[in-house]
Chains A and B, each alone.
Chain A
Amino acid sequence: MQLEEMEKQLAELKARVEGLSGSQPEERLSMIVFSGDLDKALAAFIIATGAVAMGLEVVMFFTFWGTPILRDKNKSAGGKDLMGTMFGSMLPKGAGKVKLSKMNMGGMGTAMMKSLMKKKNVASLEEFIKMAAELEVKIYICEMSMDLMGFKHEEMIDYPGLEYVGVATFLEKAINSKVQLFL
């Protein structure tokens, strides 16, 4: 009788321990890239590439103003409505066109920052994206932002494993991540 009771308790305990390991955060960094500014995008990619070096798996979720960073300057998409065409022409066409969040000064500040970065050997945003691809940083693009701004899949960059998803796909990763950031 006592043995039976103990066996029951042991089984319960086992189930609980197994449940624990399932909810343990994984060695992963999940990052939301909401901003479309050069400085913030650079920070996002410096942290992302650094995190891979630290042994973390990295997931970046590009949404809202972050979305146009991943447009390809050499690609275009037809069949857009008036609003889509307007957003398309007003938002930066790719990583080479994004501006500083401060001190842009009609583009002069951004140009100065870029030449300073070159002088100091800091990688450009385009180079950081390439490096992220080499380091197998996972990139998700928010499908709703694409739709809202009238962007088409065919005008986005070629990036290994790039996926268009909703917020649930990102959150599934974020829930079990050790580090979560919003930029």
Chain B
Amino acid sequence: MSDAIQVDKVMDLKGLPCPMPVVKVSKGIKEIQVGQVIEALTTDPGALADFPAWARTSGNEILKTDQGDGVIKIYIKRLK
């Protein structure tokens, strides 16, 4: 798979409701370098809207969102 995203940190946020997914990722993103990627696993459907909103505000980038068998995977790149 040539288009596979290289993940530097996986955050398992399954079962955590609002506002925990964005709170945890906003902390976790400080632990990776600029340009690196977090894979966030969440079961919170609100996260689909919340992560893009968080990324726009915090100046980071959502690379991809995967939905499948109840778990949402969101790939977030630290931009600053």
Contacts and interface: CB of A to CB of B under 8 A. Distances in A.
A123 B16 CA distance: 9
A131 B16 contact: no
B15 interface: yes
A123 B20 contact: yes
A54 B16 contact: no
A11 B54 CA distance: 40
Contacts of B23: 49-50, 52-53, 131, 135
Contacts, number: 33
B48 to A, nearest CB: 16
Contacts of A123: 20
Number of chain A interface residues as a range: 10 to 19
Contacts of A121: 15-17
Contacts of A54: 22, 26, 54, 57-58
Interface of A: 46, 49-50, 52-55, 120-123, 131, 135
A50 B22 contact: yes
B58 to A, nearest CB: 5
B19 interface: yes
Given A50-B19, A54-B57, 8 more contacts: A46-B18, A46-B19, A52-B23, A53-B26, A53-B54, A55-B57, A120-B17, A135-B23
